[in-house]
Structure 1
């Protein structure tokens, strides 16, 4: 394994059970990521120079495949139902192991960013992906301010996106080959089976929607990054 870019930063990948024989690209800027995405065959340029990619079968979110681990520290603070579907810790742990194995020989892309802009409430996050274009998406959707401070802070939540790993549906305790699994105790989100990048953004918003009201802050589903 070789590291490239601005990293490794505080709190290595092994903190979330990820090790790879491939290269790890830390906090690359969009130009470098787009170049890698093109070189790796992840997408192509549109007539106006924008990067165009394909997300696979799912072109939007998969709400029926999103689960939250039912565990003591958060169980009483969540409105369980069709939106917040419960999952047993054992199922999450099994999929975590499968995802780690899937990524163990892949090149990985890491972005250390903020969820939210207010220094009093922003959440230090890390996004690990197997595709460069997902790293571009994360870098554009989350907040990049004050990155020197971010690099010195361990991530409070990590999204692991190994979208090319497909689950086995009921055999894995899931609904389909797609999974978006959140463990609030372990501070990890697992994504697989879908290339739709909005799952990463929505997962961190869901985390903020859980954390911020407990601090007296109303979380709103809107943003503006300039």
Structure 2
């Protein structure tokens, strides 16, 4: 590091205990009553997607899908930023450096080096990224560099940024620059963006924003879903081992975790509903932007006065049932989770592979009142491949790979609605977590194989007519509505929203549709129409 930072003291590859001690000595954090390090990330407590840039150069010009998430910046601006950031860091008293790697599968290891202005940010890297186990070979010379300086503020005119904070990724120079923000999630998602470019384009690996677990027989399950749909909750199963909670790759030999840790939301966390995460908040964990209960060292998980996006990072080994190394076979079951606030979609349904690809590229959920400023009624939200902000390539690339992997593996795909039944938000009721868990368990245990299915007349998915531990009367969503005409109107309107969203992909999937030819089909389930068995 002497060639880059010749005048500053460099702390290299420190342990968690050392990084925590230095954070405390610098008055940049405190310990809670269980020994976890609690810090503030400053002005920014979440990602700033408008301030993430990719360097436009000969490599990225024709490969990156330039859109509102992939903002272009000139190479000259990257050079200027990198030079000024290193000059800024070289004037600090000390910096923290860590070598690590990404991807649990050795075939896809990507070595990285982090340079951090603060010890707690380096600790975040130690929690989230992979380091050699005792006896393993040390990390090789890094392929990628991450330079992280929250105290460095860009000058938009001279640096080509939108404002003082920024994340800039150069695929040509294999460098990530992050400045003006202390939110550690920017580090995590910048790395995810890099892998979302490299692995599909260069290695034929499907990169995925999903959680994953493994059963006692070695069977793998994936859980895709946007925030609030239950991705973390439903993948946490006392009878299965956790592979990872957020980011994975799917290669020819199976799946693997990108990370070595978890970065979990902790708003309203309780020992009853999320015992694994609750127990993980101990010495070695890094908690962000929380408050303490008055006069105590206890975290007030119900307080959102700083932010609703309170977080904790910890090593995967903090989870008792974690599988390490976090590698598994290709999935046998895949769950697409949605919180449908319109009360239209079935609680559980099975998808054909073509339908699965359609709903995967759609990435649907519905925001409800109170989740976002200005949202006063349910609002359909579509995020391609359940991770649009982190996809540097066209969503069609990931969706096509997804379909290819499905067909090769023969995986079963299920949609689980964790939203509303008996009517829309404000009229109906939220589906209980016990029912959602029962549906996932039934699918995993093969208890939905030899049952009767009914085809949804608007959306086309197959609805099981029996599921253990779930009342029969709530399986078909239209049967839960008092007004059948109102249900049909709501279903057709949601289908229209799906169709409108899919228009952006029509050139990639010419003539593709998963809906029945007409949206005027009668819902005559009593006559036995559209019934089948798997």
Q: TM-score, normalised by structure 2?
A: 0.38
2:188 to 201, 209, 216: 201
RMSD over aligned CA atoms reads: 1.6
1:80 to 66, 73, 76: 66
Mapped pair 1:66 → 2:52: yes
Q: CA deviation at 1:50?
A: 1.1
Q: CA deviation at 1:192?
A: 0.5
| Structure-1 residue corresponding to 2:274 | none
Q: CA deviation at 1:30?
A: 0.3
| Structure-2 residue corresponding to 1:22 | 8
> Does the aligned pair in 1 maintain the 2:74–2:160 contact within 8 Å?
no
Q: CA deviation at 1:87?
A: 0.7
> Does the aligned pair in 1 maintain the 2:52–2:168 contact within 8 Å?
yes
Residue 135 of structure 1 aligns to a residue in which SS? Answer: helix
Q: CA deviation at 1:159?
A: 0.5
Count of aligned residue pairs for this structure pair? 211
| Structure-2 residue corresponding to 1:91 | 77
2:148 to 128, 140, 161: 161
| Structure-2 residue corresponding to 1:216 | 204
> Does the aligned pair in 1 maintain the 2:42–2:182 contact within 8 Å?
yes
Question: Where in structure 2 are the equivalents of 1:178-189 lying within 5 Å?
Answer: 178-189=165-176
CA distance in 2, matches of 1:74, 1:150: 32
| Mean CA deviation greater in 80-89 or 214-223 | 214-223
Q: 1:165 to 1:33 in 2, by over 3 A?
A: same
For residues 64-120 of structure 1, give each alpha carbon's deviation from its aligned partner in whole angstroms, at most 9, with x where no partner exists.
111000011232211111111111101111111110110012211111111111100
Q: CA deviation at 1:52?
A: 1.0
For residues 26-68 of structure 1, give each alpha carbon's deviation from its aligned partner in whole angstroms, at most 9, with x where no partner exists.
1111001100111112111122221111111100011111100
For residues 121-143 of structure 1, give each alpha carbon's deviation from its aligned partner in whole angstroms, at most 9, with x where no partner exists.
12101111010000110010111
Q: CA deviation at 1:171?
A: 4.5
CA distance in 2, matches of 1:78, 1:154: 27
Q: Identify unmatched segments of 5+ residues in structure 1.
A: 1-11
2:19 to 23, 33, 38: 33
CA distance in 2, matches of 1:62, 1:211: 23
Q: CA deviation at 1:172?
A: 2.8
CA distance in 1, matches of 2:89, 2:69: 29
2:107 to 120, 123, 126: 120
> Does the aligned pair in 2 maintain the 1:124–1:150 contact within 8 Å?
no
Question: Where in structure 2 are the equivalents of 1:122-137 lying within 5 Å?
Answer: 122-137=109-124
Q: CA deviation at 1:170?
A: 3.8
Q: TM-score, normalised by structure 1?
A: 0.88
User: 1 or 2 for the larger relative contact order (CA 8 Å, sep ≥6)?
Assistant: 1
CA distance in 1, matches of 2:185, 2:133: 24
Q: Identify unmatched segments of 5+ residues in structure 2.
A: 210-245, 248-260, 262-315, 318-534
2:28 to 21, 37, 42: 42
| Mean CA deviation greater in 169-178 or 60-69 | 169-178
Residue 124 of structure 1 aligns to a residue in which SS? Answer: strand
| Structure-1 residue corresponding to 2:90 | 104
Q: 1:141 to 1:84 in 2, by over 3 A?
A: same
Q: CA deviation at 1:203?
A: 1.0
Moved >6 Å (runs of 4+):
none
CA distance in 1, matches of 2:64, 2:158: 26
> Does the aligned pair in 2 maintain the 1:111–1:128 contact within 8 Å?
yes
